[in-house]
Structure 1
């Protein structure tokens, strides 16, 4: 037993580390449970940005129920989710809430951590699992985002980028100091599309993240982009991947930004962030989001269109241009082809051309066979 006391999340060890006399045993036990759960998740290699929201959600649920885990019931969960439903949360958000509660109860109900024994001794009761298939949301489809979110057509994308360029010119001609941040953001959005990046991925880029591709020397020192802040899996560390440069214009855009504009930020010399801000070393995602929303509204795009739609557009346009789906999957860092297919919203023109090509090929084959017979 002595060896087990050092295990992350082990109940007696955590309670022993606090006061020997529990003045408020219910509050202190609940707090110790959360500490143990956090330790257990840390031991599993999960990052704090995953752990902390889970802890906050469980605290929120406890405050809603106004009771402690050894008193929670399935009805409490249903009441809680009914209230959250009134806020019109997304299906994926609701599942995240339920998953946090389920995982916490899996932890405290696991006899290996002895929380059930502690609760029996202190309260004459113990926690039980209250999340089941019949009272929680199940994952019935691959994509549960808002249907209005989609890729941009090529015309829409060009319209957005042209507007961004025009806005930079307008601000610069009027001697508005905001022209330089506008230039930065316009370039950042073009790079996000050119490499199919998520917002955090392109926001966190550094100068050193580009390298040469010996198989595409025409792209010079920007033939490949090394993404270091890719989306993590199950709370792990950010995933890395390399994205090959496809569009020649993206190299020119980057070279111009680095050579002519980036250095004009006073903060640029403090680090190697590709997108420095006026006051700190790196522009924040909120500022990029506000800029995108403003330009989106000014060109009349739907409000559901956000920076992530640039990534959708990248996938769609590559598929339309005939790139192999497996290549596209590797470029955007999807583990499964089904994930890439979700992002693909090929235009009706592309589908019409594809159908026409198939029909024409079939007709040509039929004519060849007919001539052979005759």
Structure 2
């Protein structure tokens, strides 16, 4: 026995709701679809016929089964978030009378500190002396991520109208379609202005995206990731470099210089300050290393 067709259709309606009403990005919608498909498979294996027949214990059993397969706490939290959102939608549509995922929490796993570049490594990466249009584009893109702490999806989603060169600001659409205004640094502005001068040699006439591919349309996430890895190798850095490392580096360097956690939270677009606090651990690690090297009572004997 599998979930009734009429019940399974609610998944499709929910995914349409995410795009049409909540206007989530394609990447986020795909995550929802994948997570809920896994849950639907679980329901079919257990022979549940209706969404309303599931209880909190069933959700706990599902999360436990996913945990046994090796999923980390962060992934389980994401799946639970998808389930809560789905059931809240079913509550709104009066398909169910309770949300069985509401009280379920994912098992905690140690939070890994994000990898960052130090100031010298960042400067080396961004020291690109190449007039090829694609190189000019990449330099502007990386400078903007690092200057303003942008997510990959945010920088890819920028349009020409997102930038205000006179005010040195950029309007960013972040998670949950929330807009924020972020300052743009002097070097990033210079790099973007240089890119705008050659953008027309690549971009299609009707294209509104700030950053375009060699085909003339909006650059993709995958292309940005690939190009950053290539530049890391060219500039003599670790080939595991990814766009979020530049965002992490921005946050870490800002906190090292200012110690203003609230300001960095606003710049990054974090809804919860606890997400920003992870960068204070990075700052402490740096201070601890300096202490170990410098303090006469801390230095190890050679």
Pair in the same fold by TM > 0.5 = yes
How far apart, CA to CA, are the structure 2 residues paired with 1:111 and 1:161? 49
**Equivalent in the alignment of 1:276:** 212
**Equivalent in the alignment of 1:252:** 190
SS at match of 1:294: helix
How far apart, CA to CA, are the structure 1 residues paired with 2:160 and 2:92? 51
Superposed CA deviations along residues 336-361 of structure 1, whole A, max 9, x for unmatched, are 443333234337369969xx9xxxxx
Structure 1 pair 205–349 and aligned structure 2 pair: CA distance change class (3 A)? same
Match of 2:125 among 146, 155, 160: 160
For residue 111 of structure 1, report the CA deviation from its aligned partner: 11
Match of 1:295 among 225, 231, 235: 231
The residue correspondences of 1:172-187 to structure 2 (distance < 5 A) are: 179-187=132-140
How far apart, CA to CA, are the structure 2 residues paired with 1:295 and 1:225? 24
How far apart, CA to CA, are the structure 1 residues paired with 2:242 and 2:2? 48
Structure 1 pair 201–99 and aligned structure 2 pair: CA distance change class (3 A)? closer
Q: Which moved more, 1:82-91 or 1:286-295?
A: 82-91
For residue 323 of structure 1, report the CA deviation from its aligned partner: 6.8
**Equivalent in the alignment of 1:96:** 78
**Equivalent in the alignment of 1:196:** 149
Matched, 1:46 2:28: no
Q: Under a length normalisation based on structure 1, what TM-score does the superposition of the two structures give?
A: 0.61
Q: Under a length normalisation based on structure 2, what TM-score does the superposition of the two structures give?
A: 0.73
Matched, 1:223 2:168: yes
**Equivalent in the alignment of 1:241:** 180
Superposed CA deviations along residues 129-177 of structure 1, whole A, max 9, x for unmatched, are 66475x6415x69xx7543x23210011122223xx25x47xxxxxxxx
How far apart, CA to CA, are the structure 1 residues paired with 2:192 and 2:13? 47
**Equivalent in the alignment of 1:365:** none
**Equivalent in the alignment of 1:150:** 115
How far apart, CA to CA, are the structure 1 residues paired with 2:229 and 2:139? 12
Rg larger in structure: 1
Does structure 1 conserve the Cα–Cα contact (< 8 Å) formed by 2:2 and 2:49? no
Number of residues of Structure 1 aligned to a counterpart in Structure 2: 283
For residue 79 of structure 1, report the CA deviation from its aligned partner: 5.9
Structure 1 pair 104–274 and aligned structure 2 pair: CA distance change class (3 A)? closer
How far apart, CA to CA, are the structure 1 residues paired with 2:92 and 2:122? 56
Matched, 1:209 2:162: yes
Does structure 1 conserve the Cα–Cα contact (< 8 Å) formed by 2:3 and 2:49? no
Q: Which moved more, 1:314-323 or 1:283-292?
A: 314-323
Structure 1 pair 154–53 and aligned structure 2 pair: CA distance change class (3 A)? closer
Alignment root-mean-square deviation, CA: 3.9
